[in-house]
Structure formats: C-alpha cells, structure tokens
Structure 1
Amino acid sequence: MPRFRRTALAAALTIVTAALSTAVALPAPASAALPTAAVALGDSFISGEGAGAYTPVVDVNGVAQGFPGWTAPNNNAFFCHRSANASLNQANLPGVQNRFNLACSGGQPHDIATASVAREKGRTVASQIDQMRAVAQTQDIDLVLIGLGSNNSSFTFGSVAEKCANRFIADAWTGWWEFWAYLGGPVEQKPCSDADLATAAQLSAATAETTAAVRQLLTALDQVDADGQHRVVFQDYTNPLPMDLNPTYHTEDGRDDTRDKFRDLGAERYAAGCPIHRASLMPGHRFSQGLGTLVKSTRDTLAAEFPTADLVYLDVQRAFDGARLCESSTSPTGALATPIRLQDSPNGTFVTSLSGKDKIAIQRIANTCVSYFQTCQESWHPNATGHQVLGQCLSGAATTSARAVACVRAGDGTISVS
C-alpha cells in the first residue's frame, strides 16, 4: 500500500476512534455516597441528661473523657452527659444510618459557635458547630435536632430549679425566727413568682441570643452538608412538674406549705420528687410556656431569613401529661422525669429520704450540690422512659409535612404528633 494511503487511512481511523469515544464515553467514577446522619445539638433536654448510660465525650484536646469520679471538676467534658438513651437514639428515623449526639448539659447559645470552655462554668468541649463540621466530613447530615434557650446569659434552667426547690426546703425545715437568730436576717422562703424565674426583658434577650446562635448554625450547615438537603427540628421543653400536685402531697400531719415549718410534708414531697411550693407550680408552667415561645420565635424568624430551609418547630410541652412528678400518688414511680437527686457528700449514693433529718443535715446535703454540681445535675430532667417519649415526638417531627407540630400524651399513655 502506498505510503500516502497508509497515512490517510491512519488519519481516518484516528478521527473515527475519537468520534466514537466522544459518543460513548463513560462518566468519571462518582465518589461514593456518604452515609446519612442525624445530629443533635443544644442543651440537657437534648443531650440525655437524666437518662443514664452516659457515653465518653471528646474534650477540646481530642481526649475522650469517661466518668472522672464524683469529685472531679464539673467542667469535665463527660458531664455533658450524652446518653445512649437520649431521644435522638430512641427515635425511629427512616433513612438515617448514623446518629451523633453533640449536645451538652448546660449548653448555652454561646456554645454553638464558641468553645464552651471559653465561658464561666462551661465544659471543656469544642464549639458545637466545629463538632458538627467534623461529623460532616464523613457523613451526609439529613436531620438536625436542636434544643436551645433554657440556658442563656440571663437565666439557666438549673438556677431556676435550684431557687424554687431551695425556697421550699428552707421554708419546710427552718422557722423564720431561726434565720434571724442564726443568719442575722431573713432568707427567702416564699414561693417562686413569675419574675423570680424570668422577666419579659430576660426572655426577650434570651430569644435574640438564641436566634443569633442558630443563625450561625444554619449558615454553617449549608456550607458543610454534602447534598444541601436537611431538616432542622427545633424542640422546646416540657415541665417535669404538674399544674398541681396530687392531693396526697397537699398536707401532712395537718400542715400545708403556707405555714411556717412543715418538715413531714417537706420530706414527703422530696421523696416523691417534687420539693416545691404548690404556689410555685403555675409560675413554673408559665416559664415553660415562655421557653416555648422563645423556641418558636427563633424558628419563625430564621424561616423568614432562610426561605428554602426545612425548619420544623416541635412543641413537647404536653408530652409528659399525666406522668409528671407528683401527678400520681406513686411518684416518682411511673413519672417520665427524674426526681430531685442530692447526695450527702460526693459519694455516688443519692439521698432518697429527708425524713428525720435536722436543718444542719439538710444544709450539708444542699451544700454538696453547690460544691459538686454533678451530684445533682440530673434533677428534674426526662428519665430514660421520658427520652423514649421524646424520641416518639422526634419521629413525628422528622416526617411531617407541617412546619409546626405538637406532641401530646393522652390519658392512656399513647403519644400523638400533629
């Protein structure tokens, strides 16, 4: 074959081969899809406080902290109390392969974008956004559960609970004259009022603080989520105590909580898990409702700012109806929340009865909580069964087409989300 013909043929073959390659070229191998994940962020009602089975928590130095002992500093990362029984781990979440609990007991809006250790009484963990970024490196985040607002720069759930319980204990065990004789002046013994828990100005400030923190979270989530598709559930709070105590706990030995010194009644209510004045209960529920308004307002504001975001408000304020502490005569048995838990020194043994104890013993027990907060921080939080209920609430919120749903417990114990 003449050389020019061989050259022409070779050129023609080259053109045909190139054309075929263009027509039937296979795409480049796609990167493997990341496993799907649900992530929890926020404070104790999300982390699983009160539910036991607490897992090690990685601190800011990358060290996994297991239980450090009852006398360890309370800022230890372990005391974030991330529970294997937390609602995130008990919810039915179709399509979600992995779950990551990044919430921390005592968490505040500050801790979303800034390391908790950077503030007073914060724990030694990285910011929750940084922890979420680390998860997103290997996971496709499809669901985020966030519970935030009950702790903030203006007030904290722990301080509110401590104030009302301490007033009741002081009123029950010590007469007014003893305060003057031994302490040189009056000590609060009256029931908590609305203003004692959170003023309108404080709730407004807390709402702004929470909204700013979650705004940063949503911005970061949009940046790190593999496919940009995710639902964010804003859960509010449920009160561990009823609107009124079961009549069993109204009086004891002919005394109610409106008179000076009522130790038998005080011991009875403590054993049942509700050392509190009856008159403090409704302010407490209005406080819970205020937190609900805070969370819903945060969700609504951010929904307007992020119009394409999938944001759902989950109202759980009636999730414990009929099973709150001291709502039945068998409390704390059958309740969905933990009773007040105190220790007489940081020894791991909870005091279940104050019967027969004098005011000196009462003061010593109360001081243990002050000095070693980890000995009492589980108090008045959902227990493992309570988190199971909250998990059912989350299951409903994860699949709803509505932008706001309420989770309600019926008289027979069934849970509905609508």
Structure 2
Amino acid sequence: MILVEVRPPIRPPEACHDDAAHSSRENLAIAIQGGSARSSADFPGSRRLRIRCGPRAAASPTPIDDSTAHRPAGRDHSPRRDPETALNSTVEQGMRTMADRGGRWLISASVLVLLASVVAVTVKSWDHPTDSEQPSTTPVGPLTVVTLGDSILSGEGAGAYETVTDGVNGNWCHRSANAVVHRLDVAGVEARINLACSGASTEDLLVDGTTQWTEPSQTHRLAELAKVHRIAAVVVSVGANDDPGFSRLMSDCLHARILLDPPCSHVIGQDWRQRLDAVVPKVSRALRDVRSVLAEAGYGKGSYQLIQLSYTSPLAPDIPEELRNLSACPFHTEDLAWIRDHAVGSLSDALREAAERADARFLDLSRAGHGHEACTGGDDLGSEWFTRLTLDWDSFGDAERVEHVSVQSFHPNSEGHRQFARCIGEFLGTADREAACVPDHDGDLRLTTDLPNRSGDEVFVAHPR
C-alpha cells in the first residue's frame, strides 16, 4: 500500500504556495475496432505519497482547514516549487473524465462467415492539500480522481462494461468496472470517475468539442464534475485516434495478413512522421482545455495533477506461428515488429512533447506490455495482458451491434488494467515530472525514471520469448 508520508516537522498551510459493418449470408464485413482495453490486488510493501510544500513563510503555524480555504476564483495560487523543496507535494483533487468515441484502436477486417472465433495500485493516501494548493473556490464534494480520453482508459477489452455504455441508445463508450481508475487504491480519495470513451480523439476533449456516442465533450463533463467534486488528479490517454490512426493501422495490417497482401508497414511508414507532427498540437490543446475548465472552476495549477499517458503495443513479432491466424493474432511478423519497435515508440515521443507544451506530467507506457502482449503466452493466456482477436458472436444477429462485434480485440484485458493501475498509482505518489512503466523481473510493472531515447527505434524488451 502507499501511505502518505508526513515528515515532521510539517510546514504550516501558510508556508505552502504556490467505425459500419453490415452482413449478408454470403459475406460479412466485420469492423474490428479497437478502443481501450477491458480488463485489485494486494501488493507487498508500501509506497508513500509525497507532499510538496513551498518555501517556509514567516507566518505562524495554523491548522489546515480545507473547508474554509476560499480564494478569488480564477487565480492561480500554486507555489513555485524549488527542486529542493519538491519533496513534499499535495495531490488533493481527483482523476476523472474519459470518453471514447470513434477511435478505439479500430481494426476493420472483412472476414468470411467461417471466421474462427477466436491496474489495484496503491497510491495510498492523498492527504489534504495545503492551504495555497486548495481550489480558489473550494468545491463541496469528495476528493476525486478522473480519467479522460480513449479506449485505453475507458476499459475496452476489460469486460464488465457499464450497461449504459454497452450500446444502449447508441452509447459505445465501453467503460469497464475493471478499468484503471477503479483499480487505484488511494486512501483519502473518495471517488474515482471514468469519463474516457472508447474511440475518442482529441476533438472529444475540447471545451467546444464534439459529441461522441451521444455524450458531450469530456472536458464539459469534467467542468460540471469539478463543481461538486474536489479534483485531485486527471489522467489522460488520447492521440492515437487522431492523425496516427492507430486503429486504422491495425485494421490495414490485419487485412494484409488475411488477404495475403504484402506487409502494411511499407505504406503506412511513408507518412508516419507527418502524422505524428500533426497530432502534437492537438493533444497539447486538449490538455490545455482540461486546465482551462479547472481554472474556471477555481482550481489553481498546483492543486491537482494532470498526467498524459502514452501507449503500449498490444502485439509483438515473436508469437507462435500457430497463433498467427484468425483465431488469435493474424498479422505479418514484419508488421508486428514495426508496430512495436517503431510506431509505438515514436508516438510516445510525440505525446511526450505534447505534454511538455501543456505543462503536464508524462508517463511513458511504450515498453509496459513487453513480454505480455497478445498471443505471446501461447497456451498460457494468463500471462497476457492484452486481448487476442475477440468477436462477440451474440451481436451478429443485431443490426445495431454487429459493427461493434470486434471492438474488444487487442486492448488491455483486466490484468493489463491492474498492472497499469499499479504503475500509474506509483507515479502519482512521486514528484517526478516524467517517468516510464516497465516490467520488472517478477513480471509486474514498476516505475522507472529511465525513459527511452526520443528516437522511437530503441525499444527495451524485458522478457524476450
């Protein structure tokens, strides 16, 4: 568990400033869409949440009473943190918001009817923020963690979806009870809210953003939430469904294998760099809009955490040949190598830059799934953190659901979410500006400040098979 570490002497509050598939009997076009993965665990040892405080002021000590900390709305009262005094920081307001619309790592494939079917981290205890890190106008409500963005955080692939997001009235956000945010065990945090939505792009996070799967912009929902909850952290996963078109990439590569065409990466790689260059300002804008709505709600910049995640590859080139088919992982080896060793890493670089531009923290997940990708376990499915090609056969007879029959494919499963939550929670308890999640020798994810080079080419393989 992660316990709040309060190292005496504690400074007084005053000292802290701061995707349409249709079917016929002859042929069936299945949109294999990707989104967030669907997927509590006890972890040995304990982690401590650091609490940062600004320079000591000359005022006399007074008790912290966050119910009376009222400040002029809109002003940023966050402290300037000296690196040496960054030891003790407050995270006192929540992580919440995520909604995914049409960008769930979409994998569109035309397949014959004979087609074979194929994280409880403990960031424990967020203690009450210091006086200067309170929202300018203190909201009345529970301390909350919010997730925003696409399928990776909504929980696509992890199962146990909220009924209202499993196609009811056209809502396909697929928010899972097994999603990351619900696996975070944080003492002091009273609410964990998932606003992420499978298929979401940056447009769905803008203040004046689009409606996705019947839901309004995620930042719009965050703004409403911030009025009745005290937001401690907002964790964001977005960008893959924009210019990089990761879902389309996966779809094209799957088709290439099924139709016995040449590897898809030869074509996709031609303009990959340009796609990445285009997505950076979009992600940065979305993050700034998150900050904007929280500022309007009276939150100072230092009163909550804003974290941008990168993505990890759900597939690897070294999978058993007998699984390289429609029952599991039908991809060319060359394409899988390109996706894992280049596409994912270079996308991570772009998102890292976007986070820097928006003054947000960054957590690199590009190596997080290594050794646990879909199909790498062979007969041992339990060692895999991602879903294989997955079809919802019950949906084939439903005209409204048939286009979504494969959306759960190649996303983090429940165990994947548990592992991600483990590392994300650990990150929340540090003062590091950026870090990465990598598998340790025991197979669990751990946090490291050793980020990969910004080339997108070098990829660390922790557990080669």
Q: What is the aligned partner in structure 1 of residue 220 from structure 2?
A: 130
Aligned match for 2:339, one of 260, 263, 284: 284
Q: 1:54 Cα shift?
A: 0.9
Q: What is the aligned partner in structure 1 of residue 40 from structure 2?
A: none
Between the aligned partners of 1:378 and 1:102, the Cα distance in structure 2 is 18
Q: Could you report, residue by residue, the CA deviation over 1:247-297 in whole angstroms, capped at 9, with x for unpaired residues?
A: x31xxxxxxxxxxxxxxx5xx423663110001012212111122112101
CA contact (8 A) 2:206 2:286 kept: yes
Q: Are 1:338 and 2:425 matched, yes or no?
A: no
Percent identity, aligned pairs only, is 27
Q: What is the aligned partner in structure 1 of residue 238 from structure 2?
A: 148
2:291 aligned partner, one-letter code = L
2:324 aligned partner, one-letter code = R
Q: 1:333 Cα shift?
A: 4.3
Aligned match for 1:314, one of 363, 373, 388: 363
Aligned match for 1:402, one of 428, 432, 449: 432
1:156 aligned partner, one-letter code = G
Q: Counterpart of 2:395 in 1: which secondary structure?
A: coil
- Please show how residues 372-411 of structure 1 align to structure 2 within 5 Å: 372-411=402-441
C-alpha spacing 1:190/1:146, structure 2 compared with 1 (3 Å): same
Q: What is the aligned partner in structure 2 of residue 260 from structure 1?
A: none
Aligned match for 2:145, one of 35, 38, 63: 38
CA contact (8 A) 1:115 1:127 kept: yes
Aligned match for 1:167, one of 225, 240, 256: 256
Q: Could you report, residue by residue, the CA deviation over 1:25-72 in whole angstroms, capped at 9, with x for unpaired residues?
A: xx9x9488532101100111011111111114xxxxxxxx35447xx7
Aligned match for 1:214, one of 284, 287, 306: 287
Instruction: Tell me which of the two structures has the higher relative contact order, counting C-alpha pairs closer than 8 angstroms and 6 or more residues apart.
Output: 2
CA contact (8 A) 1:149 1:295 kept: yes
Q: Counterpart of 1:145 in 2: which secondary structure?
A: strand
Between the aligned partners of 2:186 and 2:413, the Cα distance in structure 1 is 21
Q: 1:116 Cα shift?
A: 6.4
Q: 1:389 Cα shift?
A: 0.6
C-alpha spacing 1:401/1:66, structure 2 compared with 1 (3 Å): closer
- Aligned residue-pair number: 311
Between the aligned partners of 2:253 and 2:441, the Cα distance in structure 1 is 28
CA contact (8 A) 2:139 2:228 kept: no
CA contact (8 A) 1:273 1:332 kept: no
Q: Counterpart of 1:318 in 2: which secondary structure?
A: coil
Q: Could you report, residue by residue, the CA deviation over 1:181-209 in whole angstroms, capped at 9, with x for unpaired residues?
A: xxxxxxxx111226416521111111122
C-alpha spacing 1:302/1:67, structure 2 compared with 1 (3 Å): closer
Q: What is the aligned partner in structure 1 of residue 314 from structure 2?
A: 240
Q: 1:95 Cα shift?
A: 2.6
Query: 5+ unaligned residues in a row in structure 2: which ranges?
Result: 1-64, 69-137, 449-465
Q: Could you report, residue by residue, the CA deviation over 1:204-243 in whole angstroms, capped at 9, with x for unpaired residues?
A: 111122112221221212222556500011111110112x
C-alpha spacing 1:373/1:333, structure 2 compared with 1 (3 Å): farther
1:322 aligned partner, one-letter code = G
Q: 1:329 Cα shift?
A: 2.5
- Please show how residues 219-234 of structure 1 align to structure 2 within 5 Å: 219-224=292-297, 226=299, 229-234=303-308
CA contact (8 A) 2:161 2:177 kept: yes
Give the aligned CA root-mean-square deviation in angstroms: 2.7
Instruction: Calculate the TM-score normalised by the size of structure 2.
Output: 0.62
Q: Could you report, residue by residue, the CA deviation over 1:139-186 in whole angstroms, capped at 9, with x for unpaired residues?
A: 01011100111011x342221111101110111xxxxxxxxxxxxxxx
Q: Could you report, residue by residue, the CA deviation over 1:91-134 in whole angstroms, capped at 9, with x for unpaired residues?
A: 2333321111011111001111257655xxx4211001111011
CA contact (8 A) 1:322 1:411 kept: no
- Please show how residues 8-407 of structure 1 align to structure 2 within 5 Å: 30=68, 34-56=141-163, 65=164, 67-68=166-167, 76-77=170-171, 79-113=172-206, 118=211, 122-152=212-242, 154-171=243-260, 189-193=261-265, 195-196=267-268, 199-224=272-297, 226=299, 229-242=303-316, 244-246=317-319, 248-249=320-321, 268-270=323-325, 273-285=328-340, 286-303=342-359, 311-330=360-379, 332-342=381-391, 346-347=395-396, 372-407=402-437
Choose 39-48 or 215-224, whichever is displaced more: 215-224
Instruction: Calculate the TM-score normalised by the size of structure 1.
Output: 0.68
2:405 aligned partner, one-letter code = T
Choose 193-202 or 87-96, whichever is displaced more: 193-202
